Amino acid sequence: MMLRKKLALSVLGLAISISGMTATSAFADATLDRIKGRGALTVGVILSGAPFGYIDPKSQSEKGYNLDIAKALADNLGVKLETVTVTPPNRVQFLQQGKVDILIANMQYTDERAKILDYVPTPYDRSGGAAVVRKDSGLKDWSDLKGKPVCVSQGSNFTQPLIEQYGAVVKALPSQPESLLALQGGNCVAAVHVGATVGLLMQDRADEWKDYAIPFPTELVPSDSVIWLRKGEKDTQTALDNAVKTLHADGKLLEFAKANRLLNTTYLEEEHKALSASK
């Protein structure tokens, strides 16, 4: 019955059905009430690989730094955790539609994103892009990428700086394994992803990646990894901000980072010191 109705709507014209549909997401406002009411926090997580998020084959469950944070936040709010796997091309849509309450999905702060979404002001990590390139490529810095093909994931926040600042020719693939395979196949000279993920990959699978390195001295647009939520949800924002601050202060985040083998924990250590001191 429902399906038939949907189909009938589509016949009348996608445009009409659409404007009616999007309207429904507009009054999914008091997210915090809904989280409490349903007794569950729905978090969009990304499975871009260790250390942030991946599937464990034995338990077929998701694991990683992002998952640990999601679990801790749900505990803090006193509700159970539900996760939804998102990908870079669909994560903003899922949040906007209300399919997930928040995103902990390797999404760094950018001004563009802040225009359409709100975020939890206290970051849970700081990271930027690292470029994996062939050792014999002779590429030394970001500016060497001008006019060269560079692989990223679709929806990556490295796309814009790569194009606008460094003049690279960006090729966006559905996800990270495809992008890295494309690099090995020679379809791009560099693959740019979140530094910690590719760093750990090069370390763990040194043999497979012996011809490759991460040679650039700086990270691309190092920025704060923040939790994203829908525009105007102040109460949720405040509650989560307090929760993240607590996680920093009692050293939980640092603990998660070490357990998941994040390579660079300088930022987390600083934040831990600052916040535990102020307590």
Q: Which residues bind another protein (CB under 8 A)?
A: 2-4, 6-7, 10-11, 14-15, 17-19, 21-22, 24-25, 47-50, 54-58, 60, 85-90, 92-94, 96-99, 112-113, 116, 134, 151, 154-155, 159-160, 163-164, 171-178, 181-182, 184-187, 201, 204-205, 208
**Nearer to another protein among residue 50 and residue 244 (C-beta):** 50
Report how far residue 191's alpha carbon sits from residue 204's, in angstroms, rounded to the nearest whole number: 18
**Nearer to another protein among residue 164 and residue 278 (C-beta):** 164
CB of 231 to another protein, least distance (A): 10
CB of 245 to another protein, least distance (A): 29
In 51-157, which ranges are continuous DSSP H helix?
65-77, 91-97, 111-116
10 Å CB burial of residue 266 (0-12, 13-18, 19+) is exposed
CB of 3 to another protein, least distance (A): 6
Which residues does residue 55 pair with via DSSP β-bridges, in sequence order?
Answer: 62
Strands (DSSP E) found in the chain: 40-46, 54-56, 61-63, 80-86, 102-104, 117-119, 125-134, 149-153, 169-173, 190-194, 212-213, 220-225, 228-230
**Nearer to another protein among residue 185 and residue 217 (C-beta):** 185
**Nearer to another protein among residue 13 and residue 217 (C-beta):** 13
Report how far residue 163's alpha carbon sits from residue 109's, in angstroms, rounded to the nearest whole number: 18
10 Å CB burial of residue 213 (0-12, 13-18, 19+) is middle
CB of 272 to another protein, least distance (A): 29
Enter the DSSP assignment of 141. Answer: S
CB of 150 to another protein, least distance (A): 10
CB of 223 to another protein, least distance (A): 15
CB of 182 to another protein, least distance (A): 7
CB of 174 to another protein, least distance (A): 6
**Nearer to another protein among residue 113 and residue 245 (C-beta):** 113
Structure tokens at 249: 């202060």
**Nearer to another protein among residue 44 and residue 123 (C-beta):** 44
Identify the residue whose tokens are 């429904």: 24
Report how far residue 243's alpha carbon sits from residue 94's, in angstroms, rounded to the nearest whole number: 23
Structure tokens at 63: 């694991």
Residues 151, 179: contact at Cβ < 8 Å? yes
**Nearer to another protein among residue 137 and residue 265 (C-beta):** 137
**Nearer to another protein among residue 24 and residue 276 (C-beta):** 24
